[in-house]
Amino acid sequence: MWLQQGGKQADDAPYFIINKEAPFPNPAHSKSTEWLPLVSDAFLLQKKQAFGYFKTTKDMSSVCKEHFLRRSGVKMPVFMRFFTATFGREFPDSGRNSRGMAIKFYTGEGNYDIVGLQPVFCCWGLIQGLDVIRSQSWNSQNFLLDYNPVFDLLANTLEGSSLEMKLSCMSDVDPDYLECDLWSTIEKGEQISWAAHVQKMNPEEADPAKLWFTPFGVTKVWPRKRFPMHEFGKLVLNKKSRKLP
């Protein structure tokens, strides 16, 4: 909730707004449905999350204007979430679903947010986005999860053939094995870390006719032999977050 300045009229006093920029009368009260508090984006509370830090290992000022990436050795706290696209708390970590992550960097200039999904997406056109969401949702007739729409989508979408389907019995053994691994590793005092890399492509190299593919398409990845990976930082998770009910 934020304080919004008044308009151009003389009697336009400052007022409070919620996340969706809708006016809210009093910050001392919460949104509610009858007597139950209404929590916005409650589905995000079900995901795997942890605190840590990010440290730059290389000066990226040649390709980036973000202040904290323009010199080496900069360290800042981060908060990271791992999530699936449409599955909730009731589904196992091994469920077939799109995988994503969200990182909040607490920089000296303010919060910097990055959200990402799996490297290769299953469709090219934005108009197919609704079909992707619907294919992974519950059946509207019986409210059961139905994988037939997923198979239909991939079978009828040429670029979707690159997605590999894997079967695993891990969900029967430990449905929360990813979250257990995250929490137990931090509990033991160990760190979970990744090296951050970036690929560089000059404007004259981005011609689809020369590359045989559109470089900014979400269904393709850049070949690493032609566009090598350049390390520029290290991401570390080392502190558990407080779980909300």
Instruction: Record the pTM.
Output: 0.66
The band of 42, judged by pLDDT with boundaries at 50, 70 and 90, is: very low
- Apex 92 CA angle, 87 and 97, nearest 5: 45
H or E, element range at 209 = helix 208-211
pLDDT at 148: 82
| 82 or 242, higher pLDDT | 82
**Residue 41 main-chain phi, psi, to 5 deg:** 55, 45
138-152 burial code (b ≥16 CB/10 A, e <16)? eeeeeeebbeeebee
pLDDT tens, residue by residue, 166-193: 444 555 566 677 788 888 899 899 989 9
% of the chain beyond a pLDDT of 90: 24
- pLDDT number for residue 133: 73
pLDDT in tens, 106-133: 998 888 999 888 777 777 776 777 777 7
CA–CA dist 50, 79 (Å, integer): 6
In tens, the pLDDT along 44-66 reads 445 688 999 999 999 999 888 88
> Of the segments 74-78, 83-87, 202-206, which one has the largest average pLDDT value?
74-78
pLDDT at position 163, please?
62
* Token pair recorded at residue 174: 């430990």
> Which domains can be identified in the chain, with CATH numbers?
1-39 (no CATH), 41-120+163-240 (2.40.180.10)
